Structure 1
Amino acid sequence: MTRTEYRWLLPSALADDELPGDRGRARRTVRDWAVDLTAFLCAAGIGVLALAAIEADPTTSDSVVFADSLIGAAACCGLWLRRRWPVGVAAALTAVSLIEPAAAGATLVGLFSLAVHRPFRPVAVVGAAALAITPLQPMLRPDPQTSFVVSVVIGVLLILLVLSWGMAIRSRRQLVVSLRERARRAETEAALRAEQAQRLAREAIAREMHDVLAHRLTLLSVHAGALEFRPDAPPAEVGRAAGVIRDSAHEALQDLREIIGVLRAPGEGDEGNRPQPTLVTLDALIEESRAAGMEVVLDNGVTEPARAPAATGRTVYRIAQEALTNARKHAPGAPVSVTVTGGPGDGLTIEVGNPAPGTAFEPVPGSGQGLIGLTERATLAGGSLDHGSRPDGGFTVRARLPWPA
């Protein structure tokens, strides 16, 4: 499992003040349809009551009632767009409610939806506008059955109620999202701790097995040395020593298999048995780099690369691979030379170098861990590795590895 950065409180794809669903869904769920239908019916019910009060006024003509009915119906239908454009729908309905009492229900639903789906700033702006025009609507379209003061007070209280209710629901949703992200973070940290504990346990077991393996190999060496220095020993003693050597060798091999099994990463499976690169596959690596657009010149002076020890050849391949990767990142466009020389008894030498890049480019930040790993790999293989800048501004990586005769 790789370590990544987490935003604990909210998903990384959302802004700090957004919640899942604030940007709208591509398709409504069954719950969304039920909520939208309920909101539409509530707005329509309030609109019908307002139309009934308008129609009861004998001074209102039938054409005005008909126009109010159409505008109220359009306002209620506009609520189906409030999930996608809550600010626009709430602002438009607030403006319509200035002259249309039948749109009051739709306006309240729009303000409620705005408070649920948007942060405080747009809610405050649209809510302040709604409160500002609340006294104007009774002045333009007075209700003969209700006084001006009562109409204003009821309107202000309803607006404040729906806005407070919506913001309370939004705060609760933010809390739920925060708790979910914290639970996800806790699960991730628990998995990392378990992985680390497993790794430490594997390393401890490997160290213990290493000690056991060293003991068995030492015992094997002692008995083999006894046979070497006492070639005239009785046959029974020679047979007994040979049996001890054989048993020690078998037990050491079994311990070695157990060490490899312990050190293998969990879930690696058969992937750990995949073919490993050798000195023979170095040509394929160079061709792969050339296909990626790099200018690479290979000078392979090894006459029989197939005879190179597997560990040495694999180390040469990894050094060339990492050096080519670094050249591609830190000196794009510069030609790269790869030189491999040596043979049995003389050891292997690999040198990868490149001049300074000819054109300006944006430098790629690096941690230097790759070169540290290469140095460690070369040291474990019994060799050494040097790297550094050249006088012309280029960079060179040179490694020397053993190749027994």
Structure 2
Amino acid sequence: MLRTFVRMTRTEYPWLLPSAMADPHDPELPGDPPPEGGGRPKGRRPRRTVRDWVVDTVLFLLAAAVGLLAAESSEQINTSGAVVLFDQLVGAAACCALWLRRRWPVRIAVVLTIAGVFSPVAGGAFLVGLFSVAVHRPFRPAALVGALALVTAFVQPLLRPEPGVGLLTSIIAGIVLVLLAMGWGMLVRSRRQLVVVLRERAHRAEAEAELRAEQAQRLAREAIAREMHDVLAHRLTLLSVHAGALEFRPDAPPAEVARAAGVIRDSAHEALQDLRQIIGVLRTSGEGEGEGDRPQPTLATLDALVAESREAGMKVVLVNRIPEPADVPAATGRTVYRIAQEALTNARKHAPGAEVTVAVRGAPGDGVVVEVDNPAPVGEPGRVPGSGQGLIGLTERATLAGGSLEHGRTGDGGFHVRAWLPWAA
């Protein structure tokens, strides 16, 4: 018998079971009790806040007041003392059951709905139970309980008719009260859901803002690192090459030693000056300073770069087929300069003594092409350390500028770097 009843309940009335009390797609709201029959470990029941105590007390008093009014009507209508006593006991039990509505809202609402059919004194507690279900449970179980309450609105006037009130009037009044209680509860729950959604969106917006700030900081650090590498690697490589020459040729003529020492001194001074300029940019970047204080090489300064490399002892051939370098956009010219600078630095590191060719050509609408080639090294490769990040940085720089960069070994053991950059017509 019991098994048959449980099976029928699961099939026909699944909303009465504890597993159906919570909707997995419905967000948990502040103040919602755990799913009935489980969901929270034992010994961890939610504590009522001061607000909860105030709300529960007010609803209890309202239900008791409605019950007292119904009890007076019952005494006037019914001459049987047993019926009056039954109404009073059921009404008192219904009001006391409201203190458990937060823990078992659906069960309490079902019990109070059935009690309200037989005892009008439990009507106030019955309406509070419907309100609690609509507030604390999703739409499906609340709608099922509301449907049961609407059925009782038809049954209760038939079992306990009120003298002087028509049957149709009693039914309409019962339906209106049920709909008001359910509608008010659903409105309260919707407002709570809206608050939860807005709060989650605010937290998500704050998290996204933090992520954007972190990404901006990371990009700024990468830009700073790339700029420092491009500016200082050339100078420091000159220092390393000439210092290595002095180390391995202690018997060099005094004039050559003095020349190398002069190059080291000049390169050190220029490296310090570049470093001061970069640090100055970092210090004033947030103060609204313009770009004029920042070192901005262009295609017009490519000759100076080649001359500096020649003074350091490199063999460099420059083929510039752009008649007016100043006509090239500043950003494109700066990128060409950095590519040539990095390629010359790498050739100085890994192919000492080899002749390096730097070729630049282009026209508006066709873009700018810069190629740097060096054959296999004449002597032993230099011992200047390298991180291998220079060419990666150049590829990123060219891509960000809207162009492309290719590099790799040639068949004779040399190295080839080719980059194309846009030049609007």
Please state which band the TM-score falls in when normalised by the shorter chain: 0.5 to 0.7
- Return the match for 2:56 from 36, 44, 48: 36
**Counterpart of 2:218 in structure 1: which amino acid?**
R
For each residue in 1:296-339, what CA deviation from the matched residue of structure 2 results, as whole angstroms up to 9, or x when unmatched?
A: xxxxxxxxxxxxxxxxxxxxxxxxxxxxxxxxxxxxxxxxxxxx
Contact 1:91 1:126 in 2 (8 A): yes
**Alignment-derived partner of residue 73 in structure 1:** 92
**Counterpart of 2:51 in structure 1: which amino acid?**
R
**Alignment-derived partner of residue 191 in structure 2:** 172
- Return the match for 1:19 from 16, 28, 50: 28
User: Displacement, 1:61?
Assistant: 2.4
- Return the match for 1:55 from 69, 75, 95: 75
User: Displacement, 1:138?
Assistant: 1.9
Contact 1:68 1:100 in 2 (8 A): yes
Q: How many residue pairs were aligned? A: 248
**Counterpart of 1:16 in structure 2: which amino acid?**
H
C-alpha distance in 2 between matches for 1:113 and 1:73: 18
For each residue in 1:163-209, what CA deviation from the matched residue of structure 2 results, as whole angstroms up to 9, or x when unmatched?
A: 11111222222222112111211111111111111111100100011
**Alignment-derived partner of residue 142 in structure 2:** 123
Q: Which runs of 5+ in 2 are unaligned?
A: 1-21, 35-44, 280-386, 390-425
Residue 198 in 1 paired to residue 217 in 2?
A: yes
C-alpha distance in 1 between matches for 2:159 and 2:23: 43
- Return the match for 2:66 from 24, 46, 53: 46
For each residue in 1:131-156, what CA deviation from the matched residue of structure 2 results, as whole angstroms up to 9, or x when unmatched?
A: 11212222222222433222211111
Q: Does the residue aligned with 1:43 lie in a helix, a strand or coil?
A: helix
Residue 209 in 1 paired to residue 233 in 2?
A: no
C-alpha distance in 2 between matches for 1:207 and 1:84: 62
C-alpha distance in 1 between matches for 2:254 and 2:79: 132
C-alpha distance in 1 between matches for 2:237 and 2:69: 99
C-alpha distance in 2 between matches for 1:190 and 1:230: 61
RMSD: 3.4
Between 240-249 and 170-179, report the one with greater CA deviation: 240-249
**Counterpart of 2:26 in structure 1: which amino acid?**
D
Contact 2:101 2:132 in 1 (8 A): yes
TM-score with structure 2 setting the length: 0.52
**Alignment-derived partner of residue 153 in structure 2:** 134
C-alpha distance in 2 between matches for 1:68 and 1:126: 23
Name the CA shift for 1:119/1:49 in 2 (closer, same or farther; >3 Å): same
For each residue in 1:92-134, what CA deviation from the matched residue of structure 2 results, as whole angstroms up to 9, or x when unmatched?
A: 1001111010000000010011111111211221111111121
Residue 149 in 1 paired to residue 171 in 2?
A: no
Name the CA shift for 1:244/1:226 in 2 (closer, same or farther; >3 Å): farther
**Alignment-derived partner of residue 93 in structure 1:** 112
Contact 2:235 2:268 in 1 (8 A): no
Name the CA shift for 1:204/1:245 in 2 (closer, same or farther; >3 Å): closer
**Counterpart of 2:255 in structure 1: which amino acid?**
A
Contact 1:217 1:252 in 2 (8 A): no
Residue 231 in 1 paired to residue 253 in 2?
A: yes
C-alpha distance in 2 between matches for 1:238 and 1:122: 89
Between 93-102 and 134-143, report the one with greater CA deviation: 134-143
C-alpha distance in 2 between matches for 1:123 and 1:236: 95
Name the CA shift for 1:231/1:17 in 2 (closer, same or farther; >3 Å): same
C-alpha distance in 2 between matches for 1:122 and 1:237: 92
Residue 218 in 1 paired to residue 228 in 2?
A: no
Q: Which runs of 5+ in 1 are unaligned?
A: 1-12, 258-377, 381-405
For each residue in 1:59-81, what CA deviation from the matched residue of structure 2 results, as whole angstroms up to 9, or x when unmatched?
A: 42233222221210110111111
Contact 1:116 1:169 in 2 (8 A): yes
For each residue in 1:349-382, what CA deviation from the matched residue of structure 2 results, as whole angstroms up to 9, or x when unmatched?
A: xxxxxxxxxxxxxxxxxxxxxxxxxxxxx999xx
**Counterpart of 2:59 in structure 1: which amino acid?**
A
Higher alpha-carbon Rg: 2
User: Displacement, 1:245?
Assistant: 7.1
Name the CA shift for 1:206/1:14 in 2 (closer, same or farther; >3 Å): farther
Q: Does the residue aligned with 2:255 lie in a helix, a strand or coil?
A: coil
Between 147-156 and 198-207, report the one with greater CA deviation: 147-156
C-alpha distance in 2 between matches for 1:164 and 1:153: 16
C-alpha distance in 2 between matches for 1:209 and 1:186: 34
Name the CA shift for 1:208/1:226 in 2 (closer, same or farther; >3 Å): same
C-alpha distance in 1 between matches for 2:252 and 2:207: 62
Contact 1:75 1:103 in 2 (8 A): yes
